Amino acid sequence: MAAWFFILEDTLSTLMGSEHILAEAQDRARELAPRIEAYAKQNAPWTDRTGQAREGLGTNVYAQGTEVIIELYHSVDYGYWLEVIQSGRFAIIMPTLEALSGEVMGSMGATQTGVDF
């Protein structure tokens, strides 16, 4: 299970057409990714049994066309169930996105209006 922050082409198309701007956005995303990962690991609501689920939370940053994507993911096969079991009682991906979305978007120079996660 993974979730993403997107900087969408339709909102930044004139800026993201520049390779320099895209590279800067990727650099900033790479700076933010460790904070996102650390937040998820520190705030995961489950009780560790082996520590593998918490250790298996990770981030990846990449560009796809003119989109810069910060991916937050589980690497354990039962990560999906942690996110959905008991109506999300043990979820950490969406709570992390909700907690840090303003910081991420603000650091990219974007503003949030009418955004619901």
Return the pLDDT at 4: 58
Q: Which of 97, 50, 36, 40 is nearest to 78 (CA)?
A: 50
SS3 for 47?
coil
φ, ψ at 32 (rounded to 5°) = -80, -30
Measure Cα distances from 106 to 29, 71, 111 in Å: 12, 18, 6
pLDDT along the chain (117 residues), means of 10: 55 59 89 97 96 97 89 96 94 95 81 50
Q: Is the pTM of this model over 0.95?
A: no
Return the pLDDT at 9: 47
Domain boundaries, the chain: 2-107
Helix residue spans in the chain (DSSP H):
9-16, 19-43, 52-55, 79-88, 93-107
